[in-house]
Amino acid sequence: TYDFGNGLALTGSVVDVAEAHSGYSNSVLLPAYSLVNIGLGYRRDDWSLTVIAKNVTDERYFRSNFPNLFGGVVVLPELPAHYVARIQYNW
């Protein structure tokens, strides 16, 4: 996070995830991926506004869900590039 000192702050992160097997039997190999996230926030008095861009490189990646009772493996796609905005008031 870089704070500009005038209420404005810039954040960023890079997350690298190695390939991993999924499920009890390790029957599915999920590929490695990297995520880049960027955020910009403004705070004044008790108010703040934050906008975050997640997965800005639009990486296609998957996550393993909990294996079901009979040993099947569920693999779910994760979100493409998307944006989140938050307005917050602290009292």
Kindly report, residue by residue over 56-83, the tens digit of the pLDDT: 999 999 988 766 666 667 788 999 999 9
Give the pLDDT score at 70. Answer: 66
Kindly report, residue by residue over 10-48, the tens digit of the pLDDT: 999 999 999 988 877 777 889 999 999 999 999 999 999
pTM above 0.85, yes or no: no
At 80, which amino acid appears? P
**Total count of domains within the chain:** 1
Integer Cα distance of 34 and 17 in angstroms: 6
Beta bridge partners of residue 27, listed in sequence order: none
Q: Which domain holds residue 68?
A: 2-89
Q: DSSP readout, 7-51?
A: SEEEEEEEEEE--EEETTTT-EEEPPEEEEEEEEEEEETTEEEEE
Give me 32's structure tokens: 């490695």
